[in-house]
Amino acid sequence: MATYVGKTVWITGASSGIGEALAKTFAANGANIILSGRRVDALQAVADGLPTETLVLPFEVTDYDVLETIVAKAWDWKGRVDILVNNAGVSQRSLAVHTAPQVYTDLLNIDLIAPIWLTQLQLPRMVEAGGAHIIAISSVAGRIGAPLRTAYSAAKHGLIGYMDALRTEVSSRHSINVTNVLPGSVATDVSRNALTADGSTRGKSDRAIDSGDDPMDCAKAILEAVTNNVPELIFASGIELDLAKMRHSDPEKLFAMGAQMGAKISEQYESGDDA
């Protein structure tokens, strides 16, 4: 495995889950870490456990008026950002027919517009620095349409599209590499923190997430993908991996299966059996 000694890695959504696991993994390989999120105490707790230098840089990802200042602080710390990890985000658990339009605006802002802004504000710096690596944490739901996740799927599909298009412009010309990561079920608080039909936080997890992969295993796979400059990593197994691959290999079969699965899941959700 390549060493990241002397490299600076900036991770959003770094206080828990995949973000925290990435901080531990990159730091274990020598990188200095910028930790961003909203919960200062949680970010500091992560920082206190890392073996390398850290900068706790809290901010709200949709506070667009301050993002340019935040980017300047991040770059001033060590003179550059070698790896940017767009990990901050929120999921959804609600049927489209019941979901308020504002939930779509909120989710698209958090999961799509915010990472685009954060990336765009750094591109000129990355070009001037002679290169960088951008990691976008999307989802298997960014490849397939997932029930109870219409807004989330829309945002994560969009994030993949933006990053794929960006890669065509900057990878060869400016040595800025882009890796899209599509996790399946990973054991985090993603379901517990998901937005419901009225925009409130769900407050409980579900069986698929609770029995999902270890975030540290996901982080190790991402580190390897970055080391090898892999454009896209699908970190999933079983039916989730099969469906993600089917989107291109056999879309008609995917759509048929999706309709059947979606009807069943929707009925269970409306009956209250959404665990």
As a whole number of angstroms, the distance between CA 211 and CA 219 comes to: 17
72-76 contacts: CB < 8 A, separation 24 or more?
A: 74/10, 74/34, 75/122, 75/125
As a whole number of angstroms, the distance between CA 13 and CA 43 comes to: 9
The catalytic residue among 4, 64, 104, 152 is 152
Nearby residues of 207 by Cβ (< 8 Å), 6 or more positions away: 275
Sheet holding 232-235, edge to edge: 54-56, 32-35, 8-11, 83-86, 132-137, 176-183, 232-235
As a whole number of angstroms, the distance between CA 123 and CA 176 comes to: 9
Residue 152 bears catalytic tag:
yes
CA nearest neighbour of 139 among 158, 166, 162 = 158
Return the SS3 of 82. Answer: coil
Residue 131, by phi and psi: left (phi above 0), alpha (psi -120 to 50) or beta?
left
Contact status, residue 273 vs residue 265, Cβ threshold 8 Å: no
Nearby residues of 189 by Cβ (< 8 Å), 6 or more positions away: 16, 17, 205
Give the catalytic positions in this structure.
152
